[in-house]
């Protein structure tokens, strides 16, 4: 499985981990796809103590990343970025598997 986290996103993830008084060695980033949003699926990011049985465990930019088997098929080839703009800041996902996205970019169809 290939998943990319840009330098900007990695810096923001590490900043968040530190704000929770944790270190990247103590937690991992769970990246998953869940039903919802106006296009059918949406992305979900959360800190998790350890991988679950069956998870793919990746080491990206010094961050442990956990991906469950169901999400894995939707996340292969995805790039996670963090952008700042006049309209706000947040994580964005570039997904080559998506056939369409909603207007706000937080959900997608496959």
What's the number of CA atoms in the CB half-sphere (13 Å) around residue 57? Answer: 11
pLDDT at 23: 92
Q: Identify the pLDDT of residue 37.
A: 66
How far apart, in whole angstroms, are the C-alpha atoms of residue 102 and residue 66? 25
Q: How confident is the model at residue 103 (pLDDT cuts 50, 70, 90)?
A: low
Exposure b/e, 36-70, CB count within 10 A at least 16 = b: ebebebbbeeeebeebeeebbebebeebbbbbbee
Write out pLDDT tens, residues 37-73.
666 788 899 999 999 999 999 999 999 999 999 999 9
Q: How many distinct helices (H) and strands (E) make up the chain?
A: 2, 9
2-46 pLDDT per residue, tens:
999 999 999 999 999 999 999 989 999 999 998 876 667 888 999
pLDDT digits (tens, 9 = 90+) for 63-99: 999 999 999 999 999 999 999 888 788 898 988 887 6
**What are the structure tokens assigned to 24, written together?**
């990247």
Domains of the chain listed by start with CATH number? 3-102 (2.60.300.12)
Instruction: Report residue 82 as tokens.
Output: 């963090």
Q: Cα(110)–Cα(95) distance, rounded to whole angstroms?
A: 10
């Amino acid at each position: 499985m290939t998943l990319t986290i840009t330098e900007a996103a990695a810096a923001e993830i590490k900043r968040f981990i530190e704000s929770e008084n944790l270190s990247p060695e103590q937690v991992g980033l769970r990246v998953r796809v869940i039903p919802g949003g106006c296009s059918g699926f949406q992305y979900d990011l959360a800190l998790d103590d350890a991988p679950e049985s069956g998870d793919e465990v990746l080491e990206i930019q010094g961050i442990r990343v956990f991906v469950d088997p169901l999400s894995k098929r939707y996340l292969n080839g995805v790039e996670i970025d963090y952008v700042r703009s006049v309209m706000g800041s947040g994580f964005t996902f570039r997904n080559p598997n998506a056939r369409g996205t909603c207007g706000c970019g937080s959900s997608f169809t496959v």
